[in-house]
Amino acid sequence: MEQEPVRPRALLSVWDKRDIVPFGQGLADLGFELLSTGGTARVLREAGLTVLDVSEATGHPEIFDGRVKSLHPAIHGPLLARLEREDDATHLRELGYPPIQVVAVNLYPFAEAAAKNPPLEDTELLEMIDIGGPTLVRASAKNHRNVLIVVRPERYAEVLASLEDAGRPEVVGMDLRQALALEAFEQTSGYDTAIATTLHQRWTGAPESVEAVEEQAARFPSVIRVAATQHEMLRYGENAHQAAALFIDPASEGDASTLVGADVQGGKAMSYNNYADADACLRLCRSLSTDEWPEAPHACVIVKHANPCGAALGATQEEAFRQALASDSESAFGSIIAFNTPVTLATAEAIGGLFVEVVMAPAYDDDARDLLRSKSNRRLLTLASPGDRLAPLERRLVRKPIEGGWLMQTEEPPRLDVKDLSTVTSRQMDATDAASMRFAARVCEQVKSNAIVMVQGLATVGIGPGQTSRVEAVRIAGRRAGDRAKDCVLASDAFFPFPDGVEQAAAAGARLIVQPGGSIRDKEVIAAADALGVAMVFTGRRLFRH
């Protein structure tokens, strides 16, 4: 008498239970025995499906409050058995383990738990590290020739259709099997990266001293782990002939306070260049969103082609915008604008019909939003922020790809303390210059080198970005400032190698130059400043941005 063929099994164990019931129903209709754990088993049973608990299949109860459920040969034997090899197939039958040919698993949401505010305690966060799930996923993906591994609910319908078309699970084609396995390996890789990155940041912390480079370097990870999830394909890259996509760091998934997690309304979808420029704009706006200028809490930054063309702080938001725009109204055409406070109707009216690609802010007054959206191609990005004010830019590690590797460095907004500065000229700075110097340095640090920034009070009046010649950067800033350069404070991201830059600055109207110093010709540069009646301060801190 022939034995009744063994029913194939499908193991379903998911945190994200979207569509798991119709998937389980479809598998049951195709003759699969459903094997499951905990909450997934309960959801399936409540839907009227027959489910075999993993503990029944293993003959061993779950232990340690469910910490150990599926780590058993009765589960991993069928997952790793190479059924195309007779000895594996025979051994599996001798063990009495039916094959598991479909697995649907997704993992505890570690990244979401790590992003909670206030942060979870270590003990709570560590409980969100999935152990059995990644093991099931990796085993199934390794043996994808025999196991269909599904880690995304979006794949359920396709898998059911393929199983139905094939008639038998083992007939499902290799193209789908490999695609599913690749998604599985990508998921576990990203998951491990999120854990390692989060715990590195949490357990090593930020260096206490800005000056202690060796201490900062000691906090660098020994391995750079790069993993991100494709969020969307973009229309094209920097140019129309280049393909592009947006990827999201697993640690930032669902974080509405970040650029990639911001709420986007209006206009076309964000482009590659929009994101790149918005990142530069947001970085400077966060850098200015501090309590260092209590008399001017509202920040506005205008960026074009990754360089600021205007930045200002004001007692009101409208004042900050108007001053930032006045810095270079010509370049502001087609720009990106960021505000550190909710956009008001007065500001929206001031923006008026100006062609702006993107406006970013922590919130918008309803009437301001309506007015700004009246321009059909204008996008509004809302970044969730505590207290309706953009969070300041904190010290962090950043990386930059180069051919064959990565560069990594610390990045933080420059902080100038007047008591640490050195006035090197006969003419001294005015008592009122400290705030302007700090503001100028903060903006200068975000301008591509060679960079020159001219400011009046807490607003830029001329910016010379990205020049191979420092004296040419001074010329550009002075030309853009025009008459507003008279008696301005000028900041340079690096030292002046020759007196000609100082001479050009004085000709434009600068009365105070703030620079790092450190040139072999510092004495000549100082002498030129003295001869021209210009005050000069050395900060000892270079601000290159390449």
Confidence bin at 71 (pLDDT 50/70/90)? confident
- Do the beta carbons of residue 234 and residue 345 sit within 8 Å? no
Output the six-digit token pair for 496. 């002046």
Task: Report the catalytic residues.
Answer: 142, 305
Q: What pLDDT is stored for residue 59 in this prediction?
A: 72
Q: Report how far residue 170's alpha carbon sits from residue 284's, in angstroms, rounded to the nearest whole number.
A: 56
Average pLDDT over residues 164-187: 89
Q: What pLDDT is stored for residue 216 in this prediction?
A: 63
Query: Three-state SS string across 291-350, please?
Result: CCCCCCCEEEEEEECCEEEEEEEECCHHHHHHHHHHHCCCCCCCEEEEECCCECHHHHHH
Sign of the CA dihedral running 117, 227, 150, 141: negative
Q: Among the ranges 57-61, 286-290, 399-403, which has the highest mean pLDDT value?
A: 286-290
Q: Report how far residue 535's alpha carbon sits from residue 529's, in angstroms, rounded to the nearest whole number.
A: 7
- Do the beta carbons of residue 368 and residue 347 sit within 8 Å? yes
Q: Which helix (H) or strand (E) holds 425?
A: none
Q: Which helix (H) or strand (E) holds 450?
A: none
Domains for the chain: give ranges and CATH numbers. Answer: 9-198 (3.40.50.1380), 256-388 (3.40.140.20), 415-538 (3.40.140.20)
Q: What pLDDT is stored for residue 4 in this prediction?
A: 53
Question: pTM for the whole thing?
Answer: 0.79
Q: What pLDDT is stored for residue 515 in this prediction?
A: 94
Average pLDDT over residues 410-425: 84
Placement of tokens 């074009």 in the chain: 304
Q: Which helix (H) or strand (E) holds 410?
A: strand 405-411
End-to-end Cα separation, the chain, in angstroms: 79
Output the six-digit token pair for 273. 């260049």
Q: Could you tell me which of 106, 108, 85, 81 has the C-alpha nearest to residue 9?
A: 81
Distance from the Cα of residue 522 to its chain's centroid: 40
Q: Is the peptide bond before 450 cis (omega within 30 degrees of 0)?
A: yes
Average pLDDT over residues 514-529: 94
Q: Could you tell me which of 118, 178, 106 has the C-alpha nearest to residue 142?
A: 178
Residue pLDDT, tens place only, 348-391: 999 999 999 999 999 999 999 999 999 888 999 999 988 889 99
| More confidently predicted of 217 and 106 | 106
Average pLDDT over residues 168-175: 87
For strand 298-304 and strand 335-339, is the pairing parallel, antiparallel, or unpaired? Answer: antiparallel
Backbone angles phi, psi at 516, to 5 degrees: -70, -30
Confidence bin at 342 (pLDDT 50/70/90)? very high
Q: What pLDDT is stored for residue 205 in this prediction?
A: 64
Residue pLDDT, tens place only, 498-509: 999 999 999 999
Residues making up the chain, counted from first to last: 546
Q: What pLDDT is stored for residue 2 in this prediction?
A: 46
Determine which of 108-112, 371-375, 418-422 has the lowest per-residue pLDDT on average.
Answer: 418-422
Cβ density class 197-215: b for 16+ within 10 Å, e for less: bbebbeeeeebeeeeeeee
Which residues lie below 8 Å from residue 104, measured CB to CB, with a gap of 6+? 10, 11, 12, 13, 14, 20, 23, 150, 151, 156
Average pLDDT over residues 90-113: 87
